[in-house]
Amino acid sequence: MPSTAELQLTPDGRLRHFLTTEGLPASLMTEIMDRAAQFLGDTPRDLRKLPLLKGKSIVNLFFENSTRTRTTFEIAAKSLSADVVNLDISTSATAKGESLLDTLKNLEAMGADLFVVRHNQSGAPHFIAQHCTPNLAIVNAGDGLHAHPTQAMLDMFTIRKHKGEFANLKVAIIGDIRHSRVVRSQVHALAGLGCRDIRLVGPGTLLPRQGLAGTLFDQLRPGIEGVDVVICLRLQNERMDAGLLPSEAEFHDSYGMTLDRLAWAAPGAIVMHPGPINRGVELDSALADSERSVILDQVTNGIAIRMAVLSMVMGVKMEALA
């Protein structure tokens, strides 16, 4: 069985698939961000539309609902002039008992060039990448509790735009660390890009048992003191066992971000959230709507990052973007 690096990268070190940020070279993460910057226009929320994937077919293969992620991938693909198909899993053959491998082979026979895969089982995009034909590219749009690499890269891009390089930054990630695939991809990306102060903050029941770089804090104030970036995570209620969290109100009382609490961070610290926000739980509305919040910037950056990833796994060279 090939390693993730062997599966994800070509022999000359280019992106073959995009499955995880774990072990991804800093040079490739930087290239993704640099390319995304080229897709952004002269004004905020303005994206270039280019014919780089004209004639290519991209299938959004979502076995798990996510309107936000699917929509941004669709906009990204159409901005590159690709043809896009959104597969309705509720009426697909997999809902009728067909295996994932059989579904894959049938879709391959229809001539798709790239699958964007979201699945509630960890490892599903890797399985598809292992078994797909050589001319098909796979992009992971979130799998189980494992990874969400494009979300991590749009977060890295947003941080770089507002705070510069990563080596001297202090970043705190707050909330449901244990059940979040986003945080795993964020931590791997931050560490890979040279960030040396990564803090994971939350109640002990929602902190990871092992396997993630970073310093654990079960109290908010010491966890965010002096940080440059605060990333709030959505509480993954649908993935929690009973009893891990007394109530959302108690979580907000102890760990919810407010403008007053942001004063504990470094001057000019920014606040991020992968969405969707539970207002009054992870952070309050006054902070979410303030100038310190870059949450809407993340959304626009997400389209640009996904344009970059789609074009890179399809082999489009940098000079084609000129």
The domains of the chain are located at 4-147+300-321, 149-294
User: pLDDT tens digits for 166-221?
Assistant: 999 999 999 999 889 999 999 999 999 999 999 999 999 899 877 788 999 999 99
Averaged confidence pLDDT in the chain: 90
User: pLDDT tens digits for 253-306?
Assistant: 999 999 999 999 999 999 999 988 999 999 999 999 999 999 999 999 999 999
- Does residue 240 carry a pLDDT above 50? no
**pLDDT in the model for residue 41:** 74
**pLDDT in the model for residue 67:** 85
CATH classification number, 4-147+300-321, choose in 1.10.10.60, 2.40.110.10, 3.30.70.260, 3.40.50.1370: 3.40.50.1370
DSSP tally for the chain: helices H, then strands E: 12, 9
- pLDDT, mean of residues 112-138: 93
Q: Is 118 marked as binding a ligand?
A: yes
- Does residue 239 carry a pLDDT above 50? no
Q: How confident is the model at residue 223 (pLDDT cuts 50, 70, 90)?
A: very high
Q: Is 148 marked as binding a ligand?
A: yes
Q: Is 151 marked as binding a ligand?
A: yes
Lowest mean pLDDT among 86-95, 113-122, 173-182, 269-278: 86-95
The residue among 145 and 98 whose pLDDT is bigger is 145
Q: Which long-range contacts (CB under 8 A, 24 or more apart) does 234-242 make?
A: 234/175, 234/176, 234/180, 234/273, 234/274, 234/275, 234/276, 234/277, 234/278, 234/282, 235/175, 235/176, 235/278, 235/281, 235/282, 236/176, 236/179, 236/180, 239/145, 239/179, 240/176, 240/179
- Does residue 15 carry a pLDDT above 50? yes
3-state secondary structure 41-64: CCCCCCECCCCCCCCCEEEEEECC
**pLDDT in the model for residue 208:** 86
Q: Do domains 4-147+300-321 and 149-294 have the same CATH topology?
A: yes
State what percent of residues in the chain have pLDDT above 90: 73
- Which residue reads 């994800």 in tokens? 8
| Residues 6 or more apart whose Cβ sits within 8 Å of residue 250 | none
- Residue 273: φ, ψ to 5°: -160, 130
**What is the rounded distance in angstroms from the CA atom of residue 184 to the CA atom of residue 179?**
9
The residue among 29 and 93 whose pLDDT is bigger is 29
- Does residue 33 carry a pLDDT above 80? yes
Q: Is 275 marked as binding a ligand?
A: yes
- pLDDT, mean of residues 111-128: 93
- Does residue 158 carry a pLDDT above 70? yes
Q: What's the CATH architecture for 149-294?
A: 3-Layer(aba) Sandwich (3.40)
Q: Is 276 marked as binding a ligand?
A: yes
**pLDDT in the model for residue 43:** 62
Q: Is 280 marked as binding a ligand?
A: no
Q: Is 292 marked as binding a ligand?
A: no
